[in-house]
């Protein structure tokens, strides 16, 4: 196998991460107490302008805690995007709830007010939306709808740290919101996450859920069935170094996305591929620069990926498989045509801080060459 020259993603630790981690180790506080934890919670909260961030062990555990605290009981229906990472839907299932999947918009790849309205049933208790691949979903309108119906809203911001609508950070619109700091996310702690809630009582419940349900005032008095979902001080130390440079990591992603769009513009204007949607007032942080190659079938898209990998050393990722197709989420007869067609031809390209212009040119050239090859071969058969 040829070596991978350009990974899809990687964490880039160019700030004070090393210094802080060494400091945490020297202090002896390597577990889930220590000063980097509260510092990281404060730094992220201040950066996003959202009060009271609670650091946890992953984005998945953040989602689970949010569902538990807001109230997903066995049998409860929760609206969940059909096109998202599996963790969004799993959080509902962990609580015994039933995800009701919501189709996406063919241009933005996100859920919309319309698709939420279509999927809504009168006994739904809440909704989770994902800001997919870094582009905000129309959360303001969706929040209004949820308030009208008396249901809660969780924003899954795992892929959209720093994304904004009209200068306001995503994560500040819902009743609760979650972030992931996994190794390939916009800022990382290795594994890690953070959960926010507007309501102070919900926040207190979330803290209990994170720490085995143990009462803050009385040791070994466990008031609710909790979990160990704590983040370590070492992970938080990495996070402090990362969040200090959040603006750099986000600016880098925008630079890379703009450069790809510039170099691939011909294929876009010929409607061979579709770029991430541009929406007035919406700031995309391009977690992974993503394209939908409408001209290709699933088999051709998969062939393109292996050619890029084997012949050029370029790693790419296919879009997520829609949730309704996964056996673990009980496939139904309901159809989600937009999610299906987008997932079939979607592709994530290498996107990480420091990816050089020459590399982007090389990746774009390889992509154009391989796509044109596929289309030419197809013509020869016709």
Ligand X SMILES: *Cc1c(COP(=O)(O)O)cnc(C)c1O
Q: For 10-47, give the secondary structure using H, E and C.
A: CCCCCCCHHHHHHHHHHHCCCCCCCHHHHHHHHHHHHH
Under a CB-based contact definition with an 8 Å cutoff, are residues 348 and 288 in contact?
Answer: yes
Q: Is 110 in the site for ligand X (CB under 6 A)?
A: no
The distance of closest approach from Cβ of residue 365 to ligand X in the complex, given in angstroms and rounded to an integer, is 29
Of 95 and 374, the one with the shorter C-beta distance to ligand X is: 95
Could you give the 3-state DSSP secondary structure of residue 326? coil
Q: Does residue 158 touch ligand X according to CB under 6 A?
A: yes
d(CA 194, CA 178): 6
Binding mask 234-273 for ligand X (x = CB under 6 A): ----------------------------------------
Residues 53, 71: Cα–Cα separation, whole Å: 19
**Please, which residue, 232 or 259, has the CB nearer to ligand X?**
232
Total residues binding ligand X (CB under 6 A): 14
Closest to ligand X by CB, 12 or 128? 128
Stretch that binds ligand X, among 9-17, 40-48, 81-89, 296-304 (CB under 6 A): 81-89
The only residue of 82, 156, 252, 283 in contact with ligand X, by rule CB under 6 A:
156
CB of 288 to ligand X, least distance (A): 10
Instruction: Rank residues 88 and 172 by Cβ distance to ligand X and give the closer one.
Output: 88
Burial of 37: CB neighbours in 10 Å, binned 0-12, 13-18, 19+: buried
List 129's β-bridge partners, or say none: 155
Does position 363 bind ligand X by CB under 6 A?
Answer: no
Q: For ligand X, which residue of 84, 108, 343, 353 counts as binding (CB under 6 A)?
A: 84
The DSSP bridge pattern shows strands 54-56 and 193-197 to be antiparallel
Q: Which one, 91 or 257, has the nearer CB to ligand X?
A: 91
Q: Measured in Å, how far apart are the chain's first and last C-alpha atoms?
A: 33
Q: Please tell me whether residue 97 binds ligand X under the rule CB under 6 A.
A: no
CB 83 within 8 Å of CB 129: no
Place of tokens 């909260």: 45
Q: Which of 108, 110, 130, 353 binds ligand X (CB under 6 A)?
A: 130
- 87 lines the binding site for ligand X (CB under 6 A): yes
In the complex with ligand X, the residue whose CB is nearer, 323 or 360, is 323
Q: Are 284 and 258 in contact (CB under 8 A)?
A: no
Q: What are the beta bridge partners of residue 198?
A: none
List the one residue from 29, 36, 85, 229 that touches ligand X (CB under 6 A). 85
| Positions 39 through 68 that interact with ligand X (CB under 6 A) | 58-60
Stretch that binds ligand X, among 12-20, 83-91, 104-112, 344-352 (CB under 6 A): 83-91
- Cα separation, 373 vs 365, in Å, equals 12
Nearest to 273 by CA among 286, 285, 260: 260
- When binding is defined by CB under 6 A, the residue of 9, 32, 88, 112 that contacts ligand X is 88
Q: Is 101:81 a contact under the CB 8 Å cutoff?
A: yes
Closest to ligand X by CB, 130 or 344: 130
The residues in 174-203 that bind ligand X, with binding defined as CB under 6 A, are 180, 182, 193
Say if residues 196 and 54 touch (Cβ distance below 8 Å): yes
Site for ligand X, rule CB under 6 A: 58-60, 84-85, 87-88, 130, 156, 158-159, 180, 182, 193
């Amino acid at each position: 196998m040829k070596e991978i020259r350009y990974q899809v993603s990687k964490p880039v630790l160019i700030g004070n991460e090393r210094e802080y981690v060494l400091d945490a180790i020297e202090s002896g506080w390597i577990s889930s107490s220590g000063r980097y934890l509260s510092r990281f919670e404060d730094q992220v909260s201040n950066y996003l302008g959202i009060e009271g961030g609670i650091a946890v062990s992953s984005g998945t555990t953040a989602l689970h805690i949010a569902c538990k605290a807001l109230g997903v009981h066995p049998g409860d229906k929760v609206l969940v995007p059909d096109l998202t990472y599996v963790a969004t839907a799993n959080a509902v299932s962990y609580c015994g709830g039933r995800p009701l999947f919501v189709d996406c918009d063919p241009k933005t790849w996100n859920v919309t007010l319309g698709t939420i309205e279509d999927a809504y049933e009168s006994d739904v208790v809440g909704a989770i939306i994902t800001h997919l691949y870094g582009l905000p979903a129309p959360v303001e309108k969706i929040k209004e709808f949820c308030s009208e119906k008396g249901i809660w809203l969780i924003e899954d911001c795992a892929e959209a740290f720093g994304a904004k609508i009209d200068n306001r950070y995503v994560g500040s619109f819902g009743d609760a919101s979650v972030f992931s700091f996994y190794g390939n996310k916009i800022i990382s702690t290795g594994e890690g996450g953070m959960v926010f809630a507007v309501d102070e009582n919900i926040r207190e419940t979330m803290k209990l859920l994170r720490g085995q349900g143990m009462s803050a005032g009385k040791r070994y008095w466990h008031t609710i069935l909790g979990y160990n979902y704590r983040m370590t001080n070492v992970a938080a130390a990495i996070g402090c170094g990362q969040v200090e440079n959040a603006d750099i990591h986000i600016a880098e992603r925008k630079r890379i996305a703009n450069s790809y769009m510039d170099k691939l513009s011909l294929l876009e204007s010929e409607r061979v591929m579709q770029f991430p949607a541009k929406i007035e007032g919406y700031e995309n942080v391009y977690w992974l620069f993503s394209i939908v190659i409408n001209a290709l079938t699933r088999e051709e898209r998969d062939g393109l990926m292996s050619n890029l990998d084997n012949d050029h050393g370029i790693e790419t990722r296919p879009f997520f498989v829609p949730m309704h197709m996964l056996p673990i989420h009980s496939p139904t007869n309901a159809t989600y045509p937009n999610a299906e067609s987008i997932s079939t031809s979607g592709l994530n390209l290498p996107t990480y801080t420091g990816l050089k212009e020459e590399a982007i040119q090389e990746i774009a050239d390889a992509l154009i060459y391989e796509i044109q090859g596929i289309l030419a071969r197809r013509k020869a058969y016709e």
